[in-house]
Amino acid sequence: MTAMTGIWCVLASRFKLGIFADFLSRPILLGLLNGVALTIIVGQFAKVVGLKYEQRYLLERLWEAPQRLAELHWPTVALSVATVVVYLVTKRYRPTWPAAMLAILVTTASVWLLHLQEMDVAVVGLTQGGFPQFQAPQFELGEVRELVVPALNLAIVSFVSMMLTARSFAAKNGYDIDANKEFQALGFANIASAFSQGFAISGADSRTAVNDANGGKSQLVSIVAAITIAIIAVFIYEPLQFIPIASLGVVLIIASLSLLDLKAIWILKTRDKDAFYLAIITFISVLVIGVIPGITLAVLLGLFQFLRIVMRPSDQLLGLDEKGTIRTIDETGKASPIPGMVIYRFNSPLTYFNAPYFKRRLLEHAEQNKDVSCVVVDAVSSFTHLDLSVMATLADIHEVLKKRGIRLVLAGRKRRLRQWCELTGISTSEGGILLRADMYLAIKLSGSYLSAVGEGIVPTVQKEPDLEQPPKPIPEVA
């Protein structure tokens, strides 16, 4: 099972399936990070005070914990307080020292010297050390068929769990990660685990939180940690049995407190309410139904939100300002329409599910102006790819406008649109749709514009500078 999980991860990396990690937007990551932090804090609280939760889910545990404060195990509480004191003192006077490790060492020594495990203080207990026994996974061929789908599911869950943590901390600390390399690393790690008789593995948010809280900045941290763990597990594993569970819980809680950033979620409310609601939904979902189901719900909501924006995008009517620059006609009054023309911009790529809305909005604007003889559409912003449904809608729009005596002009993407029109049987010759290289030519060659300029109603249209072309050098004067 572990080996097949690793193989699935390696194959996913080979086919670049890490792109699906891009669905984790910043609002989702903010909600996740805060939800995971609170989940860790609540989960470790019982260990810190010597309790054992009877309830399984987080909200029920939040309700249970205050009711059981009378059952606190005071030796465990004292050990937890000692862990906090050592940690804070080290951070205060020796900030470059590993405070968490020193706190664990001090409390472990206390358990060993004072025999606190005899006072029912929970400890890690005996662990099996030494070198692992390396051997190839043993299985029957008939089992492979039954394990393919479960291994795929496990690979997906492991990758999603790891990427959620990785993306969250990457967003927190301002660095990028390669999802395909993460997939590859997860695959090889599982294959190695399979050959050493281990379980399927993934990343852990708690260990990552501890790493982050202690200032880990590079992959070297993981290498040092792996070497240290290997040395301890092989040669000096016996003292591990005295490590108190409460001290480990304190370290995890301290690390998780550094992840809580509810202020960042609140700031979204003033900037983008949709993003704010998505972050809140993610946060609550992680607390109520768990990390993986909560993130799945949040990603689906994010996709629906995106589809809503694409299906019903904003649009604009364009005109000319005093200098003849093409600008949006809005409440500022800086731009005015050209008599007899409707210049329309649809702020989304056209596809089959928003083409009817595009048609309805364009015809509404054409109907609102009684003397319109020309409709110009900014093709750069909307005609980004070939969609047969969009081209059929375009043909319908042309026929409706033609019956009203209105000429349809598409500005921009001239060569590509000509190919698409020829492919779909839409005429671009006389009496058909006019194609212009850009908005400037579409306006300048329009009869309505020429008449308005001749009467002095509008200024001469100015061609916008091509930002992709470098400015021409100024010739030197001899």
pLDDT in tens, the chain (478 residues): 788 888 888 888 888 877 777 777 888 878 888 888 888 888 888 888 888 877 777 778 778 878 777 788 889 999 999 999 999 999 899 888 888 889 999 999 999 998 888 888 888 887 776 676 776 766 666 666 677 777 776 777 677 767 767 777 777 777 788 888 888 888 888 888 888 777 777 766 666 777 777 677 777 888 888 888 888 878 777 888 888 999 998 988 888 887 788 888 899 888 888 889 989 998 998 888 877 788 788 888 888 888 888 899 999 999 988 888 888 988 888 888 889 999 999 999 999 999 999 999 999 999 887 788 999 999 998 999 999 999 999 999 999 999 999 999 999 999 999 999 999 999 988 889 999 998 899 898 888 888 888 888 888 888 765 544 454 554 444 3
For residues 329 and 440, membership in a common domain is answered with yes
Q: Are residues 288 and 321 in the same domain?
A: no
Within a domain: 390: yes
Question: Cα–Cα distance between 113 and 82 in angstroms, integer?
Answer: 15
Domain presence at residue 468: no
CA proximity to 203, closest of 172, 169, 158: 158
> Is residue 60 within a helix (H) or strand (E), and if so which, with residue range?
helix 58-67
Q: Is residue 474 part of a domain?
A: no
364 and 292, same structural domain? no
Please check whether residue 478 lies inside any domain of the structure.
no
- 426 neighbors 432 (Cβ within 8 angstroms): yes
The answer as to whether 134 is a domain residue is: no
For residues 382 and 348, the answer to whether their CB atoms sit within 8 Å is yes
Cβ atoms within 10 A of the Cβ of 271, count? 8
- Residues 6 or more apart in contact with residue 245 via CB below 8 angstroms: 47, 122, 123, 124
The DSSP annotation for 217-278 comes to -STHHHHHHHHHHHHHHHTS-GGGGG-BHHHHHHHHHHHHHTT--HHHHHHHHHH-HHHHHH
What residue type is assigned to position 115 of the chain? H
Separation between Cα atoms, residue 63 and residue 59, nearest integer Å = 6
Domain identity same for 213 and 282:
yes
| pLDDT given for residue 467 in this prediction | 41
- 3-class secondary-structure state, position 449: helix
Residues 329 and 294 in one domain: no
Rounded to two decimals, the pTM is 0.68
Query: Are residues 321 and 246 located together in one domain of the fold?
Result: no
Give the domain range for residue 115.
Answer: 2-128+143-304
Question: Are 370 and 267 members of one domain?
Answer: no
Residues 113 and 15 in one domain: yes
CATH number of the domain encompassing residue 321: 3.30.750.24
DSSP state of 336: B
| Total domains in the fold of the chain | 2
Element at 318 (helix H, strand E): strand 315-320
Q: Between the CA of residue 183 and those of 1, 130, 186, 200, 276, what are the distances in Å?
A: 17, 29, 5, 14, 30
Question: Contacts from 291-294 at CB under 8 Å and sequence distance 24+?
Answer: 291/32, 291/35, 291/36, 291/39, 291/161, 291/164, 292/157, 292/160, 292/161, 294/32, 294/35
**Are residue 183 and residue 290 in the same domain, yes or no?**
yes
Pair (206, 343) in one structural domain: no
477 within some domain: no
